[in-house]
Amino acid sequence: MTYIIILIVLFLLEFVYFKLADQFNIIDKPNERSSHKQITLLGGGIIFYLAVVIYFLMNGFQYMWFFTGLTLISAISFIDDLKPQSSRLRLAIHLMSMLFLFFQLGVFEMHWTLILLSLIIAIGILNAYNFMDGINGMIGVYTTVVLGSLWYINNFILTFVDERIIYYLLLALVVFNFFNFRKKARCFAGDVGAVSLAFIVIFLLGMLILKSGNIAWIGLLAVFGVDTILTIIHRLILKENILIAHRKHLFQLLANELKFSHLVVSSVYALVQVLVSVGLIFFENHAYWFLAISILLLSIVYYAVKKKYFYLHLQLKTN
């Protein structure tokens, strides 16, 4: 009954936000880099932060450092949705938020090289999640798979976090997917949604990896991770500025140039991640080998599709 009430509260909070977004014109207008063609409400992903606020208030203020970092990074991201902020300010807040998160995880007890590596991976996940909001359904359905996998691991393999926080977040995803997993999305996550959700996923994955000592669990993000890393490499080969927004991700090519439905592309990414996650769980004792093979196969698919169809992106850009 408690979770039903929380679900209703989250729906009500989302509706309230929609009213405010309408009133204050918090919208996303399509541009040449967009994968959508209509004006859409922005910032619907604020529901992820609100779900954690409810969890925090109802469950003894657990994970204080994590919550502090999440609040900071969600605040600057929401402000950025309202009015673009300087990259220096955003980077400073992101780094400060990561410091709080690393305190929560106990990362500062590790060797400095591992701290630096952890920071690079965390910043990479934050940026990858920002791109994930590019097509309808992607960020919501993909993260549902990620959190579902984390829930299973937490309940049946290794307890690494209070399971209630995962439940609250899954309920928030139900709400968000209801409005975003559509042909014509009612809202986008916005920076506040994408960045806060990435921060939460980093926290949960960090808790799991540090508790288990098994870094192969990073494979719970393998599908989008491969797309992101190979796209960065591709752009470096093209001598592009990787800090500038673009439409060169494989999922963008599928949705924009090849005209696959956004929902189909999002579902395929999620389903492939299900296969990888199930494999990691089933072959836990050989997780590194399974992850290596998975990354290799995903990379081959990425390369093959990009090699065959990337010319369509170049033609569209020329026109």
**What are the pLDDT digits (tens) for 275-311?**
999 999 999 999 999 999 999 999 999 999 999 988 7
pLDDT of 83 > 60? The answer is yes
Write out the residue range of the structural domain in which residue 207 sits. Answer: 1-126+137-213
- Number of other residues whose CB lies within 10 A of the CB of residue 164: 15
**9 & 122 share domain:** yes
Residue 77 lies in a domain: yes
What would the pLDDT profile of 24-63 be if each residue is shown by its tens digit? 888 876 655 555 567 789 999 999 999 999 999 999 999 9
**191 & 247 share domain:** no
Distance CA 22, CA 318 (A): 36
**72 & 197 share domain:** yes
Last residue of a domain, one of 196, 213, 230: 213
User: What are 295's two structure tokens?
Assistant: 């990354």
Contact 74, 60 (CB under 8 A): no
**114 & 188 share domain:** yes
pLDDT reported for residue 319: 55
Cβ-count burial 61-100 (b if 16+ within 10 Å, e if not)? eebeebbbbbbbbbebbbbbbeeeeeeeebeebbeebbbb
Distance CA 8, CA 118 (A): 37
pLDDT of 184 > 60? The answer is yes
Residue 132 lies in a domain: no
pLDDT reported for residue 187: 94
Last residue of a domain, one of 186, 213, 240: 213
**206 & 237 share domain:** no
Distance CA 16, CA 5 (A): 16
**243 & 180 share domain:** no
pLDDT reported for residue 131: 83
**30 & 70 share domain:** yes
Share of the chain above pLDDT 70, in %: 96
Distance CA 299, CA 308 (A): 14
182: exposed, middle or buried (Cβ count in 10 Å: 0-12, 13-18, 19+): middle
DSSP codes joined into one string, 167-199? HHHHHHHHHHHHHHSSSS-SEE-HHHHHHHHHH
What domain count does the chain have?
2
Beta bridge partners of 40: 28
**237 & 208 share domain:** no
Residue 94 lies in a domain: yes
**70 & 191 share domain:** yes
Residue 305 lies in a domain: yes
When pLDDT is averaged across residues 161-184 and rounded to a whole number, the result is: 97
Distance CA 114, CA 109 (A): 10
Residue 131 lies in a domain: no
**84 & 158 share domain:** yes
What is the side-by-side order of every strand in the sheet holding 187-188?
27-28, 40-42, 187-188
pTM of the model: 0.94
**206 & 274 share domain:** no
Residue 66 lies in a domain: yes
Q: State the pLDDT confidence band at 247, using cuts at 50, 70 and 90.
A: confident
Nearest to 217 by CA among 122, 297, 271, 290: 290
User: What are 297's two structure tokens?
Assistant: 């196969």
Radius of gyration of the chain (CA): 19
Residue 319 lies in a domain: yes
Last residue of a domain, one of 193, 213, 233: 213
Distance CA 173, CA 197 (A): 10
Residue 1 lies in a domain: yes
**208 & 265 share domain:** no
pLDDT reported for residue 37: 60
Distance CA 319, CA 317 (A): 6
